[in-house]
Copies of this chain bind each other. A is one copy, B any other.
């Protein structure tokens, strides 16, 4: 008799976003005439840059002709894209990441999730609190999280690092050794960014105890402050302790086009094995590469026209972030993030529970947000707003929120 992976049964039944969808649908059914503004889910709204669309057209045409058709591509991604990324994202910032240390994939979520395949099951895992749920859930599924305690909202085997107003939402370096540390900067959901010194402290910690930092840099393109690192590899020593995840989703509007990339330096070795080789084996066995059309589109992001169009989109969203942050601060709310980040993390008024504030904003302002409690115990008392919406509607949403407070 086949038996299932019991760990799946430990996952709480309600996802954060399905519960939000349920409440929104219920409200809509009762109030069909109300126009809701969605600032909850982190999905972009600007179309793909024209240079990307043009490259996809050319690639589709190539795929339709015998002489230029391409079958199976390299599991690691085409060299033209890996080399372009190495040059523009890393060499141009003085970072030594080579093309053969870059793996193209269909999403940072896929890579963040699948990376656990290459690690031993008994590795001890540390996550920020609040946290992007994928880091936790994938470790639950693979048996590293232990048991869930509904009273505390925590898993027994995970090490939680509270990110609060007091520590400016930056986790303090741990006093005890762990094996895997998930860090995400600019942070989802808090919008916090880490300084060079803060990242250096984590790199030193990891190198001292042999931990691996799983560094999610999906939002690095939103950094405007020249003092803030875009990559963990800007920190000396990171090449022996860090894996970095990046994505075209929030940079170039690829949430529906699906392309991301993960860096594993050759120098990253544990138990005598190069993690790059393990990941390569994992990808060659369980993955067959990203569509040629998609990779051609992604490469166009780095062309002069593509880069300019991406900058325009990023500026568009940055203005939304400023609008939300400043508008809510003016309304008397404590708002964080929104600088160097597309996320704004907002304290609920008078210590209101985050799901109550979510309901209040849904019903009275007709604005959909994300309750902070969904990201972990320390997210209680906050909501998350995103800058990825239409500019006019975003401004309208801020006005509506101000008007009901």
Write the residues of chain A forming the contact surface with B, with a CB cutoff of 8 angstroms.
1-6, 8-9, 11, 15, 41, 43-50, 52-53, 56-57, 60-61, 63-66, 68-73, 106-107, 109-110, 113-114, 117-123, 134, 137-138, 141-142, 177, 179-180, 209-212, 253, 255-258, 270-271, 273, 275, 278, 281-282, 284-294, 297
| Chain B residues whose C-beta falls within 8 Å of the C-beta of A119 in the assembled complex | 2-5
Cβ contact within 8 Å between A2 and B43: no
CB-CB under 8 A from A107, the residues of chain B are 287-288
Residues in B whose Cβ lies below 8 Å from that of A141 = 117, 282, 285
Q: Which of B8, B117, B134, B256 contacts A118 (CB 8 A)?
A: B8
Known: A47-B66, A47-B69, A291-B291. 4 other contacts (CB 8 A): A1-B179, A45-B66, A56-B60, A256-B291
Instruction: Output the nearest chain B residue to A53 by Cβ-Cβ distance.
Output: B64
Q: Which of A49, A106, A109, A256 has the most CB of B within 10 A?
A: A256
**Which residues of chain B are within 8 angstroms of A294 by Cβ–Cβ distance?**
291, 293-294
Whether the pair B109, A106 counts as a contact (CB closer than 8 A) is: no
Cβ A72 vs Cβ B43 within 8 A? yes
What is the minimal beta-carbon distance from A327 to any residue of chain B, in angstroms?
A: 23
Q: Nearest chain B CB to A299's CB is how many angstroms away? A: 15
CB pairs A–B below 8 angstroms (29 shown): A1-B179, A1-B211, A2-B210, A2-B270, A3-B122, A3-B271, A4-B270, A5-B121, A6-B120, A8-B273, A8-B282, A41-B72, A44-B71, A45-B66, A47-B63, A48-B63, A60-B60, A60-B293, A60-B297, A71-B253, A71-B255, A109-B288, A110-B287, A113-B285, A138-B286, A141-B285, A255-B288, A258-B288, A294-B294
Cβ-defined contact, B2 with A258, below 8 A: no
Interface centre among A4, A45, A257 (most CB of B within 10 A): A4
Across the interface, which residues of B come within 8 angstroms of A72, CB to CB?
Answer: 41, 43, 255-256
A18 CB to nearest B CB, Å? 9
Name the CB-closest residue of B to A50.
Answer: B64
The quantity of this chain's copies bound in the complex is 2
Q: Which of B1, B9, B73 contacts A256 (CB 8 A)?
A: B73
Contact B253 A293 (CB under 8 A): no
A41 cross-chain contacts in B, Cβ below 8 A: 72
On whether the beta carbons of A114 and B286 are closer than 8 Å, the reply is yes
Does the CB pair A123–B256 fall under 8 Å?
Answer: no
- Please name the residue on chain B nearest to A47 by beta carbon: B69
Assembly CA distance A69 to B46 (angstroms): 7
Tell me the nearest residue of chain B to A271, going by C-beta. B4
Q: What is the minimal beta-carbon distance from A345 to any residue of chain B, in angstroms?
A: 21
Bound state CA distance, A106 and B260, in angstroms? Answer: 14
Shortest CB-to-CB span from A388 to chain B, Å, is: 8
CA distance A252 to B107 in the complex (A): 25
The 6 A-B residue pairs whose C-beta atoms are closest, nearest first, are A1-B210, A113-B286, A53-B64, A3-B120, A43-B71, A47-B69
Kindly state the separation between the CA atoms of A286 and B286 in the bound complex, as whole angstroms: 13
Take A72-B255, A258-B291, A293-B293 as given contacts and tell me if A270 and B5 are in contact as well, using a CB distance cutoff of 8 Å: no
State whether A288 touches B179 (Cβ < 8 A).
no
B71, A61: Cβ atoms under 8 Å? Answer: no
Q: Which of B64, B258, B270 is within 8 Å of A1, CB to CB?
A: B270
A291 touches B122 (CB 8 A): no
